[in-house]
Amino acid sequence: MTQKDAVFSVVTSVLADAGINFNMGNTDAGAVLTKELRAKVNSSLCQMILNGDVEFSKYNEGSVSMSELRTYVSGLISNWVRKDPRLNGGATTATKTSSDPQLKALKKLQSTQTDPSRRLEIQNFIDKRVAELSV
């Protein structure tokens, strides 16, 4: 299984197990993934890599420690939750080098929130701002 598909599969499964109604392509998974849910996603993906169910050649070569694997998987989750339209609510992703101070402030505010509804509300403002900037 590809890493992208594995992240999608595990995120949707963890959200479903948590009773969170995830509408693929319309809901931003990043806005509803709490720290605890993200930890479950990380753990599941690490286990899938250990089992050989997900492509990851460096681990199969034995050149990565468990700590390095967890760190890698954390970045993998962030990457695909941000980029995969099935997980990001179909939003256009802003580049990391965006110099818009309002967008940076919104993202910083969102990162401090733990309430999924509040994160989703802020994500809506982020999406609106990204749309404004891309006109």
**Is 82 found in the same domain as 108?**
no
Q: How far apart are CA 70 and CA 73, in angstroms?
A: 5
Question: Do 27 and 59 belong to one domain?
Answer: yes
Token pair for residue 39? 């930890």
Which comes out higher in pLDDT, residue 32 or 62? Answer: 32
Mark whether 79 and 41 lie in a shared domain.
yes
Record the tokens describing residue 23, joined without a space: 């509408």
- Determine the Cα–Cα distance for residues 95 and 99; give it in Å rounded to an integer: 9
Q: How many domains does the chain have?
A: 2
- Give the pLDDT confidence of 37-52 residue by residue, as tens digits: 999 999 999 999 988 8
Is 50 exceeded by the pLDDT of residue 97? Answer: no
Is 98 in the same domain as 134?
yes
* Structural domain containing residue 54: 1-90
- Supply the pTM of this predicted model: 0.65
Rounded to a whole number of angstroms, the CA Rg of the chain reads 16
